[in-house]
Structures are given as C-alpha cells and as structure tokens.
Amino acid sequence: MTALKILVQQLENYPPEWPLPAYATDGAAAVDLRNAGEPVTLPPLGRRRVPTGLAIALPPDSEAQIRPRSGLALNRGISIINAPCTIDSDYRGEIRIPLVNLDREPQVIEHGERIAQMLVAAVVRIEWEPAASLPPSGRGEGGFGSTGQ
C-alpha cells in the first residue's frame, strides 16, 4: 500500500493529548475525525458545521473526501449534508464537518466524539473532447433501474 505524506496543522482547539487521526485497521480506507469543539445538540433535521481542529495541505493532484460514519448514521441518524464532502488541494482552513440529524430526536455530539471519516483520493482532471455522437455500449441510455437491480 502506498503512503502519501500530508502536512497537517493542529489548531488551537485540537487537544494536545489527542493523537493524529489514524487508520483503525490495516484494511481501513479512511481515518476518523473528531469533534474538537464544544458539545453540539442537533435538533431533528438540524444542521451544524462541527470543527475538527485540523487543517491540511494536500498534494496538488489529490482531494480529501469526508464521509459519514456508518455507526452514527445507522444508530443515531447523523449524517453529512453533502456526502461525500470534497476538500480541495488548495484549501488551507480548518476542516469542519457539516452534520445533519435525520433522527426524530435531538442528538448530542460530544467533544471528542468521532463524527466523520476522511480518505484521500487521486484527482484526474477532465479534458473535454466534443463529439457528434457517443460510441454504443451494452447499457445505452438506460437510467435508474434499467439493469434490473
């Protein structure tokens, strides 16, 4: 597996006793991010950007994807508004997670609670090539549900 060095800045609200985010298992694709702010109460359908206390400098041909944690989504209805969020390689501000409470009950996000997952992916730039028609494929113009799945 290839490792990519990423500069990380621990901001004032990142507790000095916390380790940097790490992979939980050898096969994990993402690292967990934590709430580095005060406890937050999200009412039903409430939204809030939650600070992580981290800022990063990604290499030019990469992005960080922020995704919901499956346990929070399944057990408490907490997700990310625009999942997956994209952090562009030229962004240098604090990573803040836009959480939403999809549950019927208010949900409290505690300080230090794991709130999202972050993975880094390569970015391929689009180079448009106008065409009068597209080559045929087995699927053609079939949209949602067209494959019988």
CATH code of the domain containing 25: 2.70.40.10
Position 128 in a domain: no
pLDDT tens-place string over residues 30-78: 999 999 999 999 999 999 999 999 999 999 999 999 999 999 999 999 9
Is 112 part of any domain? yes
Residue 70 lies in a domain: yes
Residue 139 lies in a domain: no
Question: Rounded to whole angstroms, what are the CA distances from 120 to 6, 31, 106, 132?
Answer: 10, 10, 32, 36
Give the pLDDT mean for 125-133: 96
Residue 144's pLDDT is 67
Place of tokens 């597209």: 134
Query: Would 146 be classed as within a structural domain?
Result: no
* pLDDT range class, residue 146, cuts 50, 70, 90: low
The torsion angle over the Cα atoms of residues 34, 35, 39 and 41, rounded to 10 degrees, is: -100
Tell me what pLDDT residue 20 has: 98
Number of folded domains that form the chain = 1
Q: What pTM value is reported for the model?
A: 0.88
Residue 108 inside a domain? The answer is: yes
The range of the structural domain enclosing residue 41 comes to: 11-122
Q: Are 83 and 65 in contact (CB under 8 A)?
A: no
Q: Is 133 part of any domain?
A: no
pLDDT of residue 145: 66
Q: Is residue 25 part of a domain?
A: yes
Residue-level pLDDT at 97: 98
